[in-house]
Amino acid sequence: MIHFYLKDFVWAWENFNEEFRKHSAIIESSSVQAGSPLSREEINRLIPILARLKIYCEKADLEKSINQIYLFEVQLNNEVCTCQTVKVLMEGISETIISELGGRFFVFIPQKQSEFFENENLFGTDVSNAFPSARADIKNAGNCMAAELHDAAVFHLMRVVEYGLRALANHLQIPVSGDGLEYEGWNTIINQIYKKVKDLTESAQGTKKEKAKKREFYSGIMGEFSGFKDEWRNSIMHTRGKHNEDEARNVYKRVSDFMYRLAKGGISE
C-alpha cells in the first residue's frame, strides 16, 4: 500500500517550483547571468529540493519524472550548469510530473476515519502485548474501516475474536484434538469452555463473593463469544447480508472492548 501526506508532496512541489520561478526571472532580466554557471552554493541548494521531490515521485510511481530528476542530479554534480540549462531541465520535469499525474488514480482517507489507518496499536498496548498474533488482523481491520470496506473490517474483527477464543481455551486448559485449536469449530470450543467454567466456579475455593466475581467474569466473556458468533461471525463467513458503516463501527467497538477485558482479566496468548 502506497500512502503519504498530500501536504508533504505539495511542499516538495512548491519548493521545486519556487526555484523554477527564480531561474526564469533571472533569464528574463539578464541574458548575461542566464548563461553564467551556477555557483556551488546554488547547486547545493537545488540538490535537496530535487531529492525531496524525487521521494514523492517514487511514492506515486512516476517513473519518467524520476528518471528526469535523476539525470538532472547527475548533471548538477558532474557538469557546469547555467541558469538557462536549469530552467529548461526543471520545466521538463514539471511538465512530465503533471503529465504522469494525469494517469494516476488517487484516493484519500477522510479525517473522521484517519484514526483507523495504518494504526499499529489500534486496540491499545494491553491488547497488543496480550495477543501478538492478532496484531496484523487488528491493523487490517482498521485499514478496512478507513477505506470503508465494512464487510472486510468485520471479517478481520471476527478473526481477532478467534484469537481471544483460543487464548481463553488455552488459559482454561481445554482439551482439543490433535490438529489443534485452529481446527476446532467455535461451537465445540465454546461448549467446552462453558463446561470448564461451570466446573471451576462450582469447585473453586474462596468466598461466595470471589466465586460470584469469577462466574460473572467468565459468563460475561462467554456471552460475548456467543453474541459474536450468532450476530456477525456466521453472517460474514456465510455471506449473509452486508454491513454498513454504523454496523462496522459497532462491531469494532464491541471487539475492542472485549479484547481489552480479556487482557485485563489476565487472558493472553
Q: Where are the domains of the chain?
A: 6-101, 111-264
pLDDT of residue 64: 96
pLDDT at 191: 77
Residues of the chain with pLDDT under 50: none
Beta-ladder partners of 71? none
**pLDDT score of 122:** 94
The model's pLDDT over 200-255, given as tens digits with 9 standing for 90+, comes to: 766 656 667 766 777 778 777 777 777 787 666 656 655 566 778 888 898 899 99
What is the pLDDT, as a whole number, of residue 169? 85
Residues 265 and 197: their CA atoms lie apart, in Å, by 14
How big is the chain by its Cα radius of gyration, in Å?
29
Q: What is the pLDDT of residue 236?
A: 62
DSSP-assigned states of every residue in 121-156: TTT-HHHHHH-GGGHHHHHHHHHHHHTT-HHHHHHH
pLDDT at 165: 86
- Judged by DSSP in three states, 268 sits in coil
Structure confidence at residue 205 (pLDDT): 64
What is the reported pLDDT for 77? 79
Q: How many residues does the chain have?
A: 269
* Residue 266 CB-density burial (10 A; 0-12 exposed, 13-18 middle, 19+ buried): exposed
Name the β-bridge partners of 134.
none
pLDDT at 32: 55
Judge contact between 40 and 107, C-beta under 8 A. Answer: no
* Bridge partners, 37 (sequence order): 82
Residue-wise pLDDT for 6-15, tens only, equals 889 999 999 9
Rounded CA-CA distance 51/74 in Å is: 12
| Four-CA torsion 97, 99, 105, 108, nearest 10 degrees | 40
Nearest of 97, 98, 45, 41 to residue 69 by alpha carbon? 97
